[in-house]
């Protein structure tokens, strides 16, 4: 996954697509963990942080749009 600076350069649609892909990958890793075939358990933590980072950027943009609409 990219750093926050690279995520900030993405459009809203690209962020949404990235979020969906990351969530799907997290689901697959959780499934592998449940069946005890997970090679790198740290990937689950990395993906959870990436999802949080993307959602934070989406919320920042939402709040910015609200402030700009109110002005």
Q: How many domains does the chain have?
A: 1
Q: Which of 9, 51, 60, 52 is nearest to 26 (CA)?
A: 51
H helices of 1-71, in order, are 4-8, 12-34, 42-70
Residue 45: which domain range?
A: 15-70
Judged against a pLDDT cut of 80, whether residue 1 lies above it is answered with: no
Tell me whether residue 34 is exposed, middle or buried, using C-beta atoms within 10 angstroms of its C-beta: 0 to 12, 13 to 18, 19 or more.
exposed
How far, in Å, CA of 47 to CA of 18, rounded? 11
Residue 1 lies in a domain: no
Reported as a single tens digit per residue, the pLDDT across 17-66 is 999 999 999 999 999 889 888 888 899 999 999 999 999 999 999 999 99
Q: Which of 3-7, 9-13, 21-25, 54-58 comes out lowest in average pLDDT? A: 3-7
CATH code for the domain in which residue 42 is found? 1.10.287
């Amino acid at each position: 996954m990219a750093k926050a600076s690279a995520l900030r350069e993405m459009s809203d649609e690209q962020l949404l697509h990235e979020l969906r892909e990351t969530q799907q990958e997290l689901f697959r890793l959780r499934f592998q963990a449940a069946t005890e075939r997970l090679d790198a358990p740290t990937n689950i933590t990395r993906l959870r942080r990436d999802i949080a980072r993307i959602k934070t950027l989406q919320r920042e943009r939402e709040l910015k749009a609200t402030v700009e609409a109110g002005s």
